[in-house]
Amino acid sequence: MYLEHFGLKKMPFALTPNTAFLYEHAGHREALNVLLVALRGGEGFIKIVGEVGTGKTLLCRTLLNALGEDFCTAYIPNPLLTPLGLHFTVAEELGLNPPQEIHSHHLVKQIAARLMTLHADGKKVVLLLDEAQALPPETLEAVRLLTNLETETSKLLQVVLFGQPELDVLLAQPSLRQVKQRLSFCYQLQLLDRTQLEGYVTYRLAVAGCEQYDIFTSGALDTLRKGSQGIPRLVTILAHKALMVAFGRGDHRVKRRHVRQAIADTEDARSSRLLRPPRSKSRLGALSAGLARLLVRDAWSRTP
């Protein structure tokens, strides 16, 4: 699409979490350090909370890559499970293959035996639950009961909960007060400020092969910060669309007006104070108009 136009080798603003594009600004670096220190110290329950789009899943995948060979991990990306479903998933993640008709009590005994074997082999076992705000209360309680499995000196299972702020609401329920009391470390992911956002955009462009560090003008970055509110996922979406608009217009730098058009095309972006009245009477959306120009240009280039 616009790769050659901007001198890129791969898409810089794809939404799929890719640890190669992780920009370790102060907040994420601190969160990762908290996780590594807590897990290496054998802490039981850890909670990471962040708004939608703040990079929790990417942080989770980075953690999985950062843990050494002395760790065994069980990763559950969709925890909307019954307690029995959770037990089956944990068992499978730990390399067990329990029969479908097994009773929950016997399944937990198998999990406990597996944890003891891993502990004897010098392994620390970590259960990572992404989207933890979706956990049914009874399933979260089942997670807590699994952390009761321990030796005289150490826990056999550590748990990291990654969730949206609704996770705090879930944990505030009186029935889950024992889970909340188990939390040894908690961290709140913050939004990108203007300086961090510039670093985020520049870093992703560099990873994508860009040698021109100032494709986005200062004004474009200011508008991008306001429109995205510093949410990394929105920054990614808006930056991608702004590049599309600039390419559609034949421009080699992304300016404020390109970002405004990207904001106009993105429902979650805060655009009411940023957009000027449209100059064109076209009924196409701002981004759609840019894409229309792009399609016309491609069609002409293919004409014999």
Instruction: Provide the pLDDT for residue 6.
Output: 87
Answering whether pTM is above 0.85, one says no
Instruction: Provide the pLDDT for residue 213.
Output: 75
Task: Show the low-confidence residues of the chain (pLDDT under 50).
Answer: 271-286, 288-296, 298-304
Instruction: Provide the pLDDT for residue 300.
Output: 45
Instruction: Provide the pLDDT for residue 271.
Output: 46
- Same fold for the pair 26-188 and 192-301: no
Instruction: Provide the pLDDT for residue 253.
Output: 94
CB-CB contact of 158 with 125 (8 Å): yes
Q: Which fold has domain 192-301?
A: Helicase, Ruva Protein; domain 3 (1.10.8)
Instruction: Provide the pLDDT for residue 167.
Output: 96
Q: Which fold has domain 26-188?
A: Rossmann fold (3.40.50)
CB-CB contact of 56 with 108 (8 Å): no
At residue 272, the 3 state secondary structure works out as coil
d(CA 72, CA 123) in angstroms, rounded, equals 6
* DSSP letters spanning 65-89: HHS-TTEEEEEES-----HHHHHHH
Q: How is residue 277 written in tokens?
A: 């009245």
Domain ranges of the chain: 26-188, 192-301
Instruction: Provide the pLDDT for residue 181.
Output: 92
Instruction: Provide the pLDDT for residue 153.
Output: 83
Within 8 A by CB and 6+ apart from 105, the residues are: none
Instruction: Provide the pLDDT for residue 281.
Output: 36
Instruction: Provide the pLDDT for residue 270.
Output: 57
Residue 75, strand partner residues:
128
